[in-house]
Amino acid sequence: EDEENDKRPFKCILDVGLQTTAAGHRMWGALKGAVDGGLHIPHTNKKFPGFKASEEKGAEAEYDAEAHKEKIFGGSVKDYMEMLAEEDPTKYEAHFSKYIAGDIDGEKLEDMYTEAHSKIREDPEHELAEKKGITHTRGEENQFTSSDGTEHVRSKKITLEQRRAKVAAKIAAAQAKLLAAGEDEDEDE
């Protein structure tokens, strides 16, 4: 039984909204992390990776926590990395270029995640990144130029009157084209 001096965990309700609740979805990994972090969130293990429903009626279902742990620590990514490195090295280099630059292969993937988890536990406060101070100036028509030298084309929103005038011009052009085609047929006869 609970003693009265024990701390009760903070109770939360998981609201997935329009998110698909498929088995093995990454959302369940976030739920598992929140529960492991000390939050009380009512849930079952049915959607977690590693859960196997009972094949016979009345038998107990199985939950393999090791399979879930492997998924959290990037086991599936490791398998994909190794398969891709063997079968298509150019695709491997394209997909995992940042891992290669950081000298991280499939064997070091679990260590990377373990280190990330320990850093989060040390200081869980989120630090906002500094703003880059890039400004944007509108040029001709739909052209934008940024202070870092990049140029972008963005469509400008038009008013209702402008849209109606644009549609009327298209209709008039189509009618003129049809009249011209009709006159050409009359001359041919």
pLDDT single digits (tens) 172-185: 999 999 999 888 77
- The span from the CA of 178 to the CA of 37, in Å, is 71
What span, in angstroms and rounded, lies between the C-alpha atoms of 142 and 153? 5
pLDDT at 1: 44
pLDDT digits over 59-83, tens only? 888 888 888 888 888 888 899 999 9
pTM for the structure as a whole: 0.54
- Is the pLDDT at 6 greater than 80? The verdict is no
* Rounded Cα gap, residues 19 and 27, in angstroms: 9
